[in-house]
Amino acid sequence: MIDILNYIIGEDDKSKYPFLPEVGKQMTGRNIQDFLNSELPILENAKDRIIYSLKNGTSPEFDETIEMKTISKYSFPIAMLLVRSTNQSYLISRFALAESRRVEDILHNENPDVIPQIFKTILNVKLSQSKDINEESNVTSEFLVKNRFKYKISLSDYLSRSISLPKNQWRLVNRSVSSGYVFLTQDELITLLREEIYQMIRSKIEELKIPPALLEDESMKSTLEQILKVAPRPPKAKIQVFSGEYPPCVAKAIEMIQKGDQVPHSGKFLMTTFLLRAGKTVDDVIDMYPTNLGFNQNITRYQVEHIAGLKGGGTKYDVPSCSTMKMKDFCYKTDACGTIKNPLQFNGKTPVKKNGRKNS
């Protein structure tokens, strides 16, 4: 696998996509010390990179010199370690966001031959270049050229991602679909996968284990301090939550969202359905999310409106039951929950109305 990668993704790509698996390999063990002690200003560069990213929400641009390329290739993993060491999810999110924007920019101009391999490696998404297989999907090459469709992705892979994209352009009905594939231009492909690129970079950082020796390193320590001194504070969410007001699972989801933690879909879904049922408006729910975090406020709005039944066909969703939440690993049961079946019953509130099920 690595061999193939090295063949397709050359030296040059390692600095463009520093999160590719084999780049990480070079970072284990004492290598890190080597980088820190290197004559190149790697640590300095990592610090600049972080501060710029946190402040601007995008990554700095570096010169195209060979020396700079080498520096930035190695400074990225160091920057990841530094950001991880701050232990603040808000900073991790900001940095991951900036980094994913940079990657996006590069991908927009990337050679189409390399793109499927990159996505296969980093996100395990199977893509085909549509030019290779137009026969199998019953389309002509004129069709592909005219619409600038360079890729096709399987329908189910498409749906699981497009579902959270708000615009009409992403509805399946407005796409060219043939033989179980959806056709995409290069720009569309990157937009479709951007959230995942962001999440991938973010979890890469979160998963990092920091060697204890590294935290003792004086130069690391002082760099970290300098970063924390100038790092932006997380914005305050507009709605405050009092403990005991919400069932533990909902409170947990709110807390995670406001801290900028990565919240699983089931948690967001629970929080949204719950708050809507508790009489909050769509805008109230959107205000729960701190601003300037994650990708796109529009996506949050779309998702909340979708759950509220204002978008996507008007289905209104019920608050999931305790057993569902347990199954999804998002139940934080305390004694206060007692034997309730649905989070809505917390504190002796409204029993849940049973939904009439139909048969056809």
Interactions with another protein, residue window 105-144 (CB under 8 A) = 137-140, 142-143
**Contacted entry of another protein, ligand SF4, none for residue 176, CB cut-off 5 to 8 Å set by kind:** another protein
| In the complex, minimum distance from the CB of residue 183 to another protein, in angstroms, rounded to a whole number | 8
Interactions with ligand SF4, residue window 337-356 (CB under 6 A) = 337, 340, 343, 346
Binding string, residues 319-338; x marks residues near another protein by CB under 8 A? -xx-xx--x-----------
Nearer to ligand SF4, 27 or 337 (CB): 337
299's CB contacts (< 8 A; 6+ apart) are 164, 165, 166, 195
Query: Per DSSP, which regions of 88-241 are E strands?
Result: 127-129, 151-154, 177-178, 181-184
Among 4, 236, 332, 351, binds ligand SF4 (CB under 6 A): 332
131 forms part of the interface with ligand SF4 (CB under 6 A): no
264 forms part of the interface with ligand SF4 (CB under 6 A): no
**Contacted entry of ligand SF4, another protein, none for residue 106, CB cut-off 5 to 8 Å set by kind:** none
For 101, 144, 161, 165, 174, the CA distances from 193, given in Å and listed in that order, are 12, 21, 7, 10, 18
Alpha-carbon distance of 99 to 17, in angstroms, equals: 10
Interactions with another protein, residue window 293-322 (CB under 8 A) = 306, 312-313, 315, 320-321
Binding string, residues 202-241; x marks residues near another protein by CB under 8 A? ----------------------------------------
269 forms part of the interface with ligand SF4 (CB under 6 A): no
Residue 338: name the closest of 322, 352, 360, 326 by CA. 322
| In the complex, minimum distance from the CB of residue 358 to another protein, in angstroms, rounded to a whole number | 6
Q: Which residues pair with 182 in a beta bridge?
A: 153, 177
47 forms part of the interface with another protein (CB under 8 A): no
Question: Is residue 47 a contact partner of residue 226, using CB atoms and an 8 Å limit?
Answer: yes
Work out the burial of residue 11: count CB atoms within 10 Å of its CB; fewer than 13 is exposed, 13-18 middle, 19 or more buried: exposed
Nearer to ligand SF4, 296 or 350 (CB): 350
Question: Is residue 20 a contact partner of residue 14, using CB atoms and an 8 Å limit?
Answer: yes
Among 109, 111, 168, 243, binds another protein (CB under 8 A): 168
Tell me 321's DSSP state: P
Angle, vertex CA 20, rays to CA 13 and CA 104, nearest 5: 65
Question: Which one of the spans 106-114, 242-250, 258-266, 272-280 is the region binding ligand SF4 (CB under 6 A)?
Answer: 242-250
Question: Is residue 273 a contact partner of residue 308, using CB atoms and an 8 Å limit?
Answer: no
Nearer to another protein, 62 or 317 (CB): 317
Question: Is residue 256 a contact partner of residue 267, using CB atoms and an 8 Å limit?
Answer: yes
Alpha-carbon distance of 51 to 35, in angstroms, equals: 20
**Contacted entry of ligand SF4, another protein, none for residue 173, CB cut-off 5 to 8 Å set by kind:** another protein
Kindly report the number of other CB atoms within 10 A of residue 360's CB atom: 2
Binding positions for another protein, rule: CB under 8 A: 137-140, 142-143, 146, 154-156, 159-160, 162-163, 168-169, 171-181, 306, 312-313, 315, 320-321, 323-324, 327, 357-360
Binding positions for ligand SF4, rule: CB under 6 A: 247-249, 322, 325, 331-333, 337, 340, 343, 346
